[in-house]
């Protein structure tokens, strides 16, 4: 999906949920979109500063948190980063495959993988919450 139609869908998504995709939040989302893969908060902050002058960390973190809440971004904890969610219309758990060599990130739906883990942990009485999973490894291109 190109950035423009992604943004307009995001706009509609927020409207439906009765929350405001403000100028700042939209701008932050665009900045994340512009990057391929995972972006760091401080990278976004730097980009934002280049555009609009002085800005402090909370400005960016608040916008990112909002976007994660709305399902537009994933927070990838293991990488201290954020990544655009490709399918924010349906709720889902993300499964991220991070290549150790090239750093590229693939996103899958984790439902399948998680269900088998769910079954295993259910025996212990442990209930798994919805969440993103990050697996590191080596991608096709880097293996070759």
Minimum distance, C-beta of residue 15 to a copy of itself, in the bound complex (Å) = 31
Closer CB to a copy of itself, 56 or 126, in the complex:
126
Q: Which of 4, 19, 78, 102 binds a copy of itself (CB under 8 A)?
A: 78
Q: Which of 13, 59, 104, 138 binds DNA (CB under 7 A)?
A: 59
Question: Segment near a copy of itself (CB under 8 A), from 2-10, 11-19, 51-59, 122-130?
Answer: 122-130
50 near DNA (CB under 7 A) = no
Q: Which does 100 bind (CB under 5 to 8 A by kind): DNA, a copy of itself, none?
A: a copy of itself
Residue 61 CB-density burial (10 A; 0-12 exposed, 13-18 middle, 19+ buried): middle
| CA pseudo-torsion sign 45, 46, 50, 55 | positive
Longest dimension (CA), the chain: 54
63 near DNA (CB under 7 A) = yes
The distance in angstroms from the start CA to the end CA of the chain is 28
Residues making contact with DNA (CB under 7 A): 19-20, 22-25, 40-43, 52, 54-59, 61-63, 65-66, 77, 80
């Amino acid at each position: 999906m190109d950035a423009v139609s992604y943004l307009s869908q995001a706009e509609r998504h927020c409207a439906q949920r009765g929350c405001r995709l403000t100028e700042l939040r939209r701008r932050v989302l665009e900045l994340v979109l512009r990057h391929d893969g995972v972006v760091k908060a401080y990278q976004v902050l730097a980009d934002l500063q280049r555009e609009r002058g002085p800005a402090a960390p909370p400005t960016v973190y608040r916008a990112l948190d909002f976007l994660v809440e709305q399902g537009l971004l994933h927070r990838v904890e293991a990488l201290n980063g954020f990544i655009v969610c490709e399918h924010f219309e349906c709720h889902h758990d993300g499964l991220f495959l991070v290549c150790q060599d090239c750093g590229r990130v693939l996103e899958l739906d984790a439902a399948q993988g998680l269900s088998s883990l769910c079954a295993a942990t259910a025996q212990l009485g442990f209930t798994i919450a919805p969440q993103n999973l990050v697996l590191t490894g080596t991608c096709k291109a880097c293996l070759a």
